[in-house]
Structure 1
Amino acid sequence: MSRRTSRGKAGKEQAAPRCTVTVCRGCCCGTAKVPGVDHAAQLATLRAELGPVAQVRAVDCLDACEQANVIVVQPSPAGRAAGGRPAWLGLVNDADATADITAWVRAGGPGIAEPPDVLDLYAFSPSRRVRRAVEE
């Protein structure tokens, strides 16, 4: 029998659990329905800036179209243990908002770091049905 170590496949070290940043790119978010936003650049920026510290994923419609563009920041396991909960951010349609989100996630995200006060302007609560579908 061989012993397993804490190393992942192909001898790579497993990374510490990270925040997950979910970017809506469905029927309204990420489309021309939200004019004046370079949606591809926003997603590319999030992936480039957060790749080492968070999982960034694009998903179909999060069913919060009135808040387009929607980004959900889910805490890492450590952040959740510290009381962090997913942060739903809507109307994220400018580079400054994306930069504020990036800085917060790089600092640890929900439960680990306090979000910049300006993110209060973007925070919203989706319906329980929508929230359950994304957070589980």
Structure 2
Amino acid sequence: MSEIKPAPCRIVVCRDCCCGSPKVTGVDHAAQTARLAESAPVRISECLDVCDQANVIVVQPSAAGRAAGGRPVWLGLVNDPDATEDILGWVRDGGPGLAPLPDILDLYAFNPPGRP
């Protein structure tokens, strides 16, 4: 019998009208998405309606993180490989609810309109 593993952090990547498009120059969007998928399940989303923050990545807590009070963290202007690596490090450490948001990622975090 195989052991059921708890649900990991999940990453939502906006890839629509602005995010993931030539409008955000100098970013290899496919490579960024592939790199994120190496450490966590990734879901590609259509427009998340925060185009002024392109490229947007949302880190959703794992089951354990949610049980510990973690909530999705929205990160905007994720337009360089170092930021992507910082996100991956945080996800590997446990992500929302299990690991504190690194100070460097606090620079990218934002509350989208209409969400607490």
- Say yes or no: TM over 0.5: yes
Whether 2:79 is the aligned partner of 1:93: answer yes
Gaps of 5+ in 1: 1-6
Partner of 2:89: 103
Gaps of 5+ in 2: none
1:16, CA displacement in angstroms? Answer: 1.7
CA distance in 1, matches of 2:72, 2:103: 16
Partner of 2:66: 80
Normalising by structure 2, we get a TM-score of 0.93
Whether 2:32 is the aligned partner of 1:38: answer no
CA distance in 1, matches of 2:99, 2:71: 12
1:13, CA displacement in angstroms? Answer: 4.3
Among 58, 76, 90, the alignment partner of 2:44 is 58
| Higher helix proportion | 1
- Runs of 4 or more, structure 1, over 2 Å off, are 12-15
- Per-residue deviation, residues 56-84 of structure 1 (Å, max 9, x unmatched): 11111111100000000011121111111
Partner AA of 2:103 in structure 1:
D
Identity of aligned residues (%): 66
User: SS of the counterpart of 1:100?
Assistant: helix
Whether 2:2 is the aligned partner of 1:16: answer no
CA distance in 2, matches of 1:88, 1:75: 11
CA distance in 2, matches of 1:98, 1:116: 13
Whether 2:14 is the aligned partner of 1:28: answer no
Tell me if structure 1 keeps the 8 A contact 2:8–2:63: yes
Partner of 1:3: none
Structure ID, larger Rg: 1
Whether 2:111 is the aligned partner of 1:122: answer no
Tell me if structure 1 keeps the 8 A contact 2:13–2:56: yes
Higher relative contact order (CA 8 A, sep 6+): 2
